[in-house]
Amino acid sequence: MSYLNKIMSPRSVAVIGASNKEHTIGSDIMKRLVEYGFTGKIFPINPKDSEIQGMTAYPSVLEVPEEIDMAVIVINAKYVLSAVDQCHQKGIKGIVVISAGFKETGGAGAELEAKLVNKVREYGMTCVGPNCLGVVNTDPKFRLDACFAESLPVRGDIGFVSQSGALGGGILNILQDLNLGFAQFISIGNQADVNADSAIEYWENVDDVKQILLYMESIADPKRFRALASRTSKKKPIIALKAGRSAAGASAASSHTGSLAGADKAADALLKQSGVIREFSLQDLFNTAKVFSHCPIPNGNRVAIVTNSGGPGIMATDAVCEHGMEIAHLSDQTKEALRSFLPAAASVKNPVDMIASAPLEHYKKTLETVLADDGVDMVVVIYLPFLGLKDIDVAKAVMEIRAAHPDKPIVGVFMTKNEFFAHLSETEVNVPFFMFAEQAVEGLARLNQQRLWRERTDTPAPRYSVDTETVEAVFKQAAADNRVQLTTGESLQVLAAYGVRVCRDGEAKDADEAVALANKIGYPVVMKLNSKKISHKTDVGGVRVGIKDADQLRAEFADLVNKLTEKGLMDGFEGVIIQEMVKSDREMVCGCAKDPQYGQMMMFGLGGVFVEVMKDVTFRLAPLTVEDASDMIHSVKAYKLLAGARGAVPAQINKVEETLLRLSQLVEDFAFIDELDINPLMISGKDGEPIAVDGRIKFNATEALVALSIA
């Protein structure tokens, strides 16, 4: 069980390492607690001084005569463990270890951190840090600022988790300027115990936190994150900035908080499946938070634009279209109403251009009229300064109207001086104001994304009845042979056992066997090299298609053997696979790869020779929900090919979906599978059925031996 509530909402706090020495963390933390007006009791702990900042100090927590909910530890790393022991003796359940010198310093520090974690687990404590900035709760009931950032916190609705202490501090410094405040802040540091998951779980039911912001460089436990975030994100938006996405960035990340960075594709899939809104820059993160702070979730994606200048109206229109939202069609009634008071030169179509002469009254009436239109879900109001109309007056009018219409999001684009925004930052606002149209529209796009996520209900994939025995037998045989890769034949056998439609085929050791088999399958056939050593068959001429009869088959077989012999590639030769020749002009690819951190990740997209060139593929973590599978299929460009572009037979989309779900079940059941490829997954030109024509499976032999109990 988590004692985060003791940490975030304590009635009493001990500061272990409180100090009278200026410019030390032990002094700063004490000052902050006092200055911000912590409503509970503060117990400075210091073995030397008996009074710190006017308060009685105690040599250890054990001497404190009252109960302590939470301890902030700021002493040298080497004394931290014994301090934790004392906390335990005192019955303290929540600790925040600000001290550095743990995992981030490597070797000995990592060992120390391991010991700290063991103690925390053994004592049943909850621990934030180590190597962190601290925690903040702006709830007036607590007013806890146990954090050594430069600025005092500003009250707002954000729950904010930062993996980087430094960056977290930087962000707290500028939040106020950006018109944003937060409810709670947790600097998770090395996330030895408390991580983003714990915060999400805790905040799910904290009403004070209306939206959750995450700065992450790694995700500690992807499975748990998915489970918790996908539930919480239905109630309140979760917005994440995940850094370290380039290979170079990732390597910089590993030398940072002492954490391993995972593949960015996997992180992206995880965030998508968890309903987390991903941002790629701090600025976007803040803009989105600003919009969620002041806007309801809309009922649709139709945007109206009200402006006093054409240019920004066009730019907003461009942005609306680019984000896949709609420019609202105003009703005739709305247009007539607008026409009744706007000048002739104004445009009453969306975007509504009231022209530069628009007085305050026009802003008000136009907004009211547009908001009343049932065809409008969201509104962008644009203001450029003209003819003495003051920005702040327009802003006030917009905010009054917003208050009277709580159901529809309104965002402001005020292309005016910084002082306007500086002024706003000292004011209570109920509308997000931006300087540029693109920022405002991107905010609306995020609201719309949250709407779509809320409307989505994920259905767990059905458990298909499959033939696990065959699969086990195949892996056992391969493991017994000391192989980590299945042959093509074995791979297709495994897929077939899991109900994937594979093309009819069989193995043949020599030309006679090949002909017998082809006669059974029916011509034309494909002949493929079957080798334990060669994985990219095409590269060695190992795939022959469109073989029409027995004579041709014999000739091709002889030719293949000759070629391989010439190249010295006969080692591992097992004969050939004879396959039914599937008539198709559409080749897809699907498969699974295991990321060391995120686990098994499914892939789907355009296959054949285009896979690595076009990179028209998408990823989701296994296990897939029904919606995940459907999402994957619909999110690649090649979906149009499946749907039947240019008169082609439409693919059986439900069968493609089922193929993905069956694969997902396969890799879940056999978690030691490292890589799986169906390439191509051909779409039959006859009836659109997806047919696995080639397959490759690689696995982890050690894990397999354990899992299959044949060690």
Contacts (CB under 8 A) with a copy of itself, residues 228-267: 243-249, 252-253, 255-257
The site string for a copy of itself over 167-206 (x = CB under 8 A, - otherwise) reads: x-xxx-xx--x-----------------------------
Which 121-160 positions form the footprint of a copy of itself (CB under 8 A)? 150
Q: What does residue 447 show for φ and ψ, rounded to 5 degrees? A: -60, -45
Residues 345 to 364 in contact with a copy of itself, rule: CB under 8 A: 345, 347, 349, 351, 353, 356
282 binds a copy of itself (CB under 8 A): yes
In the shown chain, the binding pattern of residues 580 to 609 toward a copy of itself, with x for contact by CB under 8 A and - for none, equals -----x--------------------x--x
Size of the site for a copy of itself (CB under 8 A): 88
By beta-carbon proximity to a copy of itself, the closer residue of 315 and 431 is 315
The tokens of 496 are what? 């077939």
Type of residue found at 352: V
Q: Which stretch binds a copy of itself (CB under 8 A): 293-301, 320-328, 516-524, 678-686?
A: 320-328
Interface of this chain with a copy of itself, residues 62 to 101, rule: CB under 8 A: none
Which helix (H) or strand (E) element contains residue 590? strand 586-595
- Residue (133 or 494) nearer to a copy of itself, CB: 133
Rg (CA), the chain: 32
Choose between 1 and 387: whose C-beta lies nearer to a copy of itself: 387
> Exposed (0-12), middle (13-18) or buried (19+): which is 282, by Cβ within 10 Å?
middle
Report CA torsion sign: 479, 482, 484, 489.
Answer: negative
Smallest distance from a copy of itself to CB 438, Å: 4
Shortest distance (Å) from residue 250 CB to a copy of itself: 8
Contact pattern for a copy of itself over residues 378 through 407, marking x by CB under 8 A: ------xxxxx-------------------
**What tokens appear for 80 in the block?**
């931290």
- Enumerate the β-bridge partners of residue 153: none
Q: Got the DSSP string for 329-349?
A: ---HHHHHHHHHHS-TTSB-S
Min separation Cβ 244 and a copy of itself, Å: 5
Residue-by-residue DSSP string for 95-139: EEE----SGGG-HHHHHHHHHHHHHHHHHT-EEE-SS--EEEE--
Residue with smaller CB distance to a copy of itself, 421 or 523: 421
Distance CA 603, CA 608 (A): 14
Q: Please write down the HEC assignment for all residues of 156-172.
A: EEEEEEECCHHHHHHHH
Q: Footprint of a copy of itself on residues 635-694 (CB under 8 A)?
A: 637-638, 640-641, 645-648
Q: How far is the CB of 439 from a copy of itself (least distance, A)?
A: 7
- By beta-carbon proximity to a copy of itself, the closer residue of 136 and 171 is 171
Find the binder of a copy of itself among 207, 469, 613, 711 (CB under 8 A): 613
364 neighbors 330 (Cβ within 8 angstroms): no
Rounded CA separation 475/490 (Å): 9
Query: Between 342 and 471, whose beta carbon lies closer to a copy of itself?
Result: 342
Tell me how far, at minimum, the Cβ of 62 lies from a copy of itself, in Å. 32
Q: Are the beta carbons of 294 and 256 closer than 8 angstroms? A: no
* Rounded Cα–Cα distance for residues 498 and 654 (Å): 16
What the block records as the tokens of 489 is 């034949």
Residue 63 sits at the vertex; the CA angle it makes with 60 and 68, to the nearest 5 degrees, is 85
Residues numbered 536-555 forming contacts with a copy of itself, rule: CB under 8 A: 536, 538-539
Instruction: Indicate the residue among 55 and 415 with the shorter CB distance to a copy of itself.
Output: 415
Backbone φ and ψ of 55, nearest 5°: -110, 150
Q: Write down the least CB distance from residue 268 to a copy of itself, Å.
A: 13
Q: Would you count residue 437 as binding a copy of itself (CB under 8 A)?
A: yes
DSSP 8-state assignment for residue 459: -
